[in-house]
Structure 1
Amino acid sequence: MEPDELRAALAALPDPDWLDQALERVRTEPDALGRLFAAAGRRCGRAPLTRAPGWTADDAARVLLLTALPADRVVGQVETLYRYGDAAEKRAVLRALPWLPVGASAVPLLHDAIRTNDTRLVAAALGPYAAHLDPASWRQAVLKCVFMEVPLAVVDRLDERADGELEIMLAGLDEERRAAGRTIPADASALLARLRDPASSPRPTTKEA
């Protein structure tokens, strides 16, 4: 889902003029973003967007507000909004990262989100921006999804990045769960089966320093 698609999905807002005015104000007065970011839930609502599955109106509006920022103000605003925002605001920051000129500077925000027990933040941290996570951190984040039963469908490039080390980790968890009379989630079991499939492309264990 690209920003222009999110904007189209928000066309049916009860008060679309508010968002248009807010976006223009952020472009010309970046310091106004904090107040507008917080107000998005009240002004745009929190309903799911039918034209953007998996998104709510406030989530999409906040992402658009961030993309309206002048490039030289993005990094500072992203860090501030995440650190002081509530869970919904933090999630919007994480979801906006792939479209923002932040390079790898926001990786600490991913680490923070992954450490939480909020499934919404963990899921948002594993979108496209997670390409900046090193392999070990990424594997641990995937394993946390399995522990928390966050659907692995949220993990960007899952099959592309899954490797022998992740297979070992999943197999160990699977054995532990089976010994306790439990099972890992179906999507994790399916991933493990794909990793074990000798007909699939080789996934050698990654050696790390």
Structure 2
Amino acid sequence: MTGGQLADVLEGRVADPDWLADAVDRVARDPDAVAALFPAAGRRCGRGPLPDEALGRDAGPDAAPDPVGWTVDDAARVLLLTALPLHGTALAGQVDALYRYGSADEKRAVLRALPLLDLGSAGVDILHDALRTNDTRLVAAAVGPYARHLDDRMWRQAVLKCVFMEIPLTAVADLDRRADGELGRMLGDLADERRAAGRTIPADAGILLALIGDLPPAGGDGTADRTDEREGKAG
């Protein structure tokens, strides 16, 4: 999702659209203004959920409350960050400060904004911090598109944490592409532990395990055949 798409999604859903338009303009002219405007976005714009259809996601008729879902203040804060006229180290410093000193809602907005900002891999430490928490909102946001900057070991641990915390695996960006035999082994071990304790893993994790459980381990051969093997299992 781009800043322009977020602006479209927010149209008609912001409590004080004039405030948001002015805030975006102020941040574009004076990056330091974001420090005061970013926390105020929830109070001025509202905190209600954004409809899944507005975000291009189909929740389905039986969907449970989704920690992956965006809120109005999420989108407003991300819009403010995309307006920053900064790049590289200066942008990374501003974003890091907003995350470090922000509330949980503000931290989540920073995490959602990372893939839209000109940061390269400079925001990875923010992901690491979020993944150390037990806040489902932060963990779910941390495994979004910016998680492409996580190395394979950390990414697998992040997926496993989602399973532990029962965060829907739909939150995990690039899951089909990055899931490998090592993740399958880890999920299998977890499933065995749960089974021994008379418990099960979430249904979506069970489906993933069925698809990748026999894939080659990371670094092994057969990489080019993974898609065919998954399709064969799915069929």
TM-score, with structure 2 as normaliser: 0.83
Aligned AA (2:70):
W
The 5-angstrom pairing of residues 63-142 of structure 1 reads 63-72=78-87, 73-142=90-159
User: Cα offset for 1:207?
Assistant: 4.2
User: Structure 1 residue 75: deviation in Å?
Assistant: 1.0
Cα distance per residue 1:22-52 (max 9 Å; x no partner): 0000011110101100000000000112323
Note the alpha carbon deviations across 1:76-115, whole angstroms, 9 max, x for none: 1110000000100000000000010111111011010001
- For 2:230, the equivalent position in structure 1 comes to none
- How far apart, in 2, do the equivalents of 1:28 and 1:71 lie? 11
- Map of 1:14 onto structure 2: 15
How many angstroms does 1:14 deviate by? 2.7
2:193 to 172, 176, 182: 176
Amino acid at match of 1:6: L
Per-residue CA deviations over 1:1-32 (Å, capped at 9, x if unaligned) read 33212101111123211111000000111101
Q: Determine the C-alpha separation between the residues in 2 that align with 1:177 and 1:123.
A: 22
Task: Say whether the 8 Å CA contact 1:143–1:170 is kept in structure 2.
Answer: yes
Cα distance between partner residues in 1 of 2:99 and 2:15 = 27
Any conservation in 1 of the 2:38–2:80 contact (CA below 8 Å)? yes
Task: Tell whether 2:41 aligns with 1:40.
Answer: yes
- Aligned equivalent of 1:205: 217
C-alpha contact (below 8 Å) 1:47/1:56 kept by paired residues: yes
d(CA) in 1 for partners of 2:15, 2:121: 37
**Is this contact kept in 2: 1:66–1:74, CA < 8 A?**
no
2:77 maps to what in 1? Answer: 62
Deviations 1:164-205 (A, max 9, x none): 1001000000000000100000000000001136xxxxx421
Return the alpha-carbon distance in structure 2 between the equivalents of residues 56 and 19 of structure 1: 15
Residue 140 of structure 1 aligns to a residue whose secondary structure is helix
CA contact (8 A) 2:139 2:162 kept: yes
Separation (CA, whole Å) in 1 of partners of 2:24 and 2:16: 14
Q: Which runs of 4+ in 1 moved over 2 A?
A: 50-54
Query: Number of aligned pairs?
Result: 203
Partners of 2:209 and 2:114 lie apart in 1 by 29
Q: Which residue does 1:200 correspond to in 2?
A: none
State the alpha-carbon separation in 2 of the partners of residues 67 and 5 from structure 1: 12
2:179 matched to 1:162? Answer: yes
Which whole-Å deviations, capped at 9, do the CAs of 1:141-166 have from their partners, x for residues lacking one?
A: 00000000000000001011000100
- Consecutive unaligned residues in structure 2, runs of 5 or more: 58-68, 221-235
Which of 173, 197, 209 aligns to 1:192? It is 209
